[in-house]
Chains A and B, each alone.
Chain A
Amino acid sequence: MITHPETLDVVVGSNLFADILTDIGGALQGSLGLAASANINPAERLGPPMFEPVHGSAPDIAGRGVANPIAAIWTAALMMEHLGEPAAAARIMNALRAVTGKGQVRTPDLGGKNTTADFAAAVVEALSR
C-alpha cells in the first residue's frame, strides 16, 4: 500500500484491519479532511444508508469556519451515486477536482487561507459551469 500503492484496487478487510488501513489511506490522500465514507447494506433495506466524512468533530478548530469540506462533499457524491444518480455524483466529483486542480481555493489544512464557505462556493460555481 505504501511502496506500491498502484497494485491495490479494491481491498476488503475485517473491522479492525480495515480501520487501520483506511486511516493510512486518509494520510496517503494528503489530509484527513479528504476521506469520505458510506455505510450501506447492499443486500436488503432495513433503514436508510448512512454517509459520513471520516474525520471527527475537531473541537480545536470548530467554530472558526475553516474546516475542510472536501470529505463532506465527496461523501455527498457517494450518497448520490448510491441513490441511483451516478451523473449527479460524477458532476460533483468533477467540480471538486476542478477546484482542487486550480489550487486557488484551499482551506488551512492544505496550506491555504480560505474558509469552508469559500471552498463550497467555488465547488457550486464549478457545478453551474
Chain B
Amino acid sequence: MKTYRIALLPGDGIGKEVIPAGVQVLEAAAASARDAARANAGLPPSSGQVPPGATTGSAEAFALSFGEFDWGCEYYLRTGRMMPEDGLEQLRPFDAIYLGAIGHPTVPDHISLRQLLLEIRFGFDLYANLRPVEILPGLESPLRSKTAADINMLFIRENSEGEYCGLGGRFKRATAEEVAIQEVVFTRRGTERVIRYAFERARRRPRKRLASATKSNGPHA
C-alpha cells in the first residue's frame, strides 16, 4: 500500500486550528479508501461498518504519515529565524507540505513572507500557484444571482518571479526628492512554463477555455 509522507506546518494563529481539522479529514479519507478497497476485494471493513453503496469507483488504498514542524512567527520570536537553517533539507524527503497560516502582529510581513513561504516556493521552484474559485452548495456569493453553476474558475498565478524578484530600493530616502524603484521580472522561461501549464489544465476541463490576465497595451515591450 502506498504511504504518503506529509510535512505539517500549522504555523501561527488559526493555522494551528485549521490544520488539525484538515488532518482529521485526510485520515478519514484514507480510512474510507482502505475500507472501500477491502470491500472491492470482498473483505469486511477494517473498522466500523461500511453501508452498501459506499464503495464507489476505483478505490485505491493508501496510508498517510505525518511529520510536524513548529516553524513560523512564534518560532521566529523564540529563535530569531522563521525556520532552521537546514529547513529545506528537512522538508525535502516529504511528498507534500501542508501549511496552515503564517503571520504575527509583531513580526514584519517581509520577514515572515520572505524567510519561510518564499524560501520554500523559491527553494523548490514551485512556480505555479493554483487557486480554484467555486461556489459551494448552501453558501451564497455576494453576487446574489450567481450559483455553483455560474462560478467555477481555476486561477494559475505565476509564483516564482514578477514582483517576487525583490529587486528595488529607495534613493534619497526621507527627503522631498525620494524615489522608489521596484522592478518586476518576466523571463521567457518563467512565462512560458506557467502559460504552458495553464493550457494543459484548461485542456483537461470540460469548457477548455483559458484567459490571460495582462496589461499588454500599456508597458513598453
Contacts and interface: CB of A to CB of B under 8 A. Distances in A.
Contact of A6 (B150, B162, B200): B150
A49 B62 contact: no
Interface residues of A, number: 93
Contacts of B102: 56-57
Give the secondary structure class of B's interface.
mixed
A6 B141 CA distance: 13
Contact of B162 (A11, A15, A27, A61): A15
Interface residues of B, number: 109
A43 B8 CA distance: 24
B128 A40 contact: yes
A124 B25 CA distance: 6
Task: Give the residue among A21, A31, A70, A76 with the most B Cβ atoms within 10 A.
Answer: A76
Contact of A88 (B33, B100, B214): B33
B127 interface: yes
Contacts of A75: 22, 98
A72 B213 contact: no
B210 A85 contact: no
B48 interface: yes
Contact of B99 (A10, A50, A59, A97): A50
B59 interface: yes
A8 B153 contact: yes
Interface string B95-134: 1111111111100000000000000110111111111111
B221 interface: no
Contacts of A22: 131, 133, 155, 157
Contacts of A27: 142
A9 B153 contact: yes
Contact of B126 (A26, A41, A61): A41
A121 B24 CA distance: 8
Interface string A26-60: 11111100111111111110111111111111110
A18 B155 contact: yes
Contacts of B101: 52-53, 55-58
Contacts of A39: 120-121, 126, 128-130, 159
A116 B96 contact: no
B140 interface: yes
A79 B157 contact: no
Contact of A54 (B6, B11, B131, B186): B131
Contact of A61 (B14, B155, B158): B14
B28 interface: yes
Contact of A10 (B95, B134, B149, B205): B205
Contacts of B24: 120-121, 124
B26 A76 contact: yes
Interface in A92-119: 92, 95-97, 100-103, 110, 116-117, 119
A102 B136 CA distance: 11
A17 to B, nearest CB: 4
A21 B150 CA distance: 17
Contacts of B161: 15
B12 A57 contact: yes
Given A16-B163, A42-B197, A50-B124, 8 more contacts: A10-B211, A13-B213, A22-B157, A37-B130, A48-B91, A57-B13, A57-B103, A91-B32
